[in-house]
Amino acid sequence: MNGSSSLTITSAQNGSVLEFRGELPRGLSGYNGAYFGVSLRVDGLSARARVYDIHLDHWSLFFRDLADNWRGWSGARSHESLEHHLRIEATADSVGHIRLLVMLRDDPNHTWKAEGSVFLEAGQLEELAGRAMAYFG
């Protein structure tokens, strides 16, 4: 297990919160994966999903890519969990504002979907990438 049991991302603009929770094992390989909880709180909406994924380090790489490109990028950069319970799309404008569009779905039949945005400033990305590495490995 790693030393970090959660990763919380708080919006710089609207008080929205995205939280990853649960101890994650290190050193997974092949098709071995792990479950973790994700919650999203936006403007009175609160949604939770249990997410299964393999290659947990790909989440770290996603947040590292955003930090490495803090000056912005064109289009959307996205990452999605193996069974589509979590998807994050990141867009950036030319003045350092980043929007994380978070989409959660239930398990196993995808009978509901919740979406909300968490807004970040470019200056938050490096610290976020470090915390993502501590959480996901």
What CA–CA distance (Å, rounded) separates 99 from 16?
11
Q: For the segment 22-37, what is each residue's pLDDT rounded down to a tens digit? A: 999 988 888 889 999 9
CATH topology for 6-136 is Transcriptional Co-activator pc4; Chain A (2.30.31)
For 93, list phi and psi in degrees, rounded to 5: -105, 180
Which region holds residue 68: left if phi is over 0, alpha if psi is between -120 and 50, else beta? alpha
What CA–CA distance (Å, rounded) separates 17 from 116?
10
Length of the chain, in residues: 137
- The residue extents of the domains of the chain are 6-136
Q: Is the pLDDT of residue 44 over 70?
A: yes
Q: For the segment 89-132, what is each residue's pLDDT rounded down to a tens digit? A: 999 998 999 999 999 998 767 799 999 999 999 999 999 999 99
- Global pTM reads 0.93
Q: Is the pLDDT of residue 3 over 60?
A: no
| Contact (CB, 8 A) for 137 and 56 | yes
